[in-house]
Amino acid sequence: MRVLGVDCGSERTGYGVIDSDGRVHRILAAGTIRTSARDPFPARLAKIAGGLREVMSGHGPSEAAVEAVFHAVNAQSALKLAHVRGAVLLVLAEAGLSCAEYSALEVKQSVTGFGRADKEQVQFMMRSMFGSAAPVNQADACDALAVAVCHAVRSTFTRRMGAAS
């Protein structure tokens, strides 16, 4: 399966595309869509949407996963993040992709074995899985790859359990 993972943010939205059989994962693309806080917010949403459309057209994911929101520093930040997630979910729906959502705890548990892992531990695991292809200097891209890996592992497990019953 080819999975697009997205880590939403109003200034930096990370993305990662992997090929996976649920056990072995191969990175195809990872990066960050950056916007400027000086730009009007609708323009920033359009840039994020356009960037994701570009990634999807270049790599053709069959499934997508997004990190679920669990908290924000303040109400304004939470509202902006919700708008970004809305734009991302719309782009994924327009492309006809099924989209799973995972909490940060689920993602960290899936890739590090510890749900309260810090960003450095997630980056270490992405480097361990993907070697020099892992964008460890881009925390948002690493987080997006972790979301993609989490989805690949969990959806493969769910499919296998369904086939066994």
Catalytic center residues: 7, 67, 140
What is the DSSP-derived secondary structure letter of residue 95?
T
Structure tokens at 26: 């191969």
- Other residues' Cβ atoms within 10 Å of the Cβ of residue 131: 9
| Separation between Cα atoms, residue 150 and residue 131, nearest integer Å | 18
SS3 content of the chain, % helix, strand, coil (to 5): 55, 20, 25
Residue 6's DSSP bridge partners are: 15, 66
Antiparallel, parallel or unpaired: β 25-34 and 63-67 = unpaired
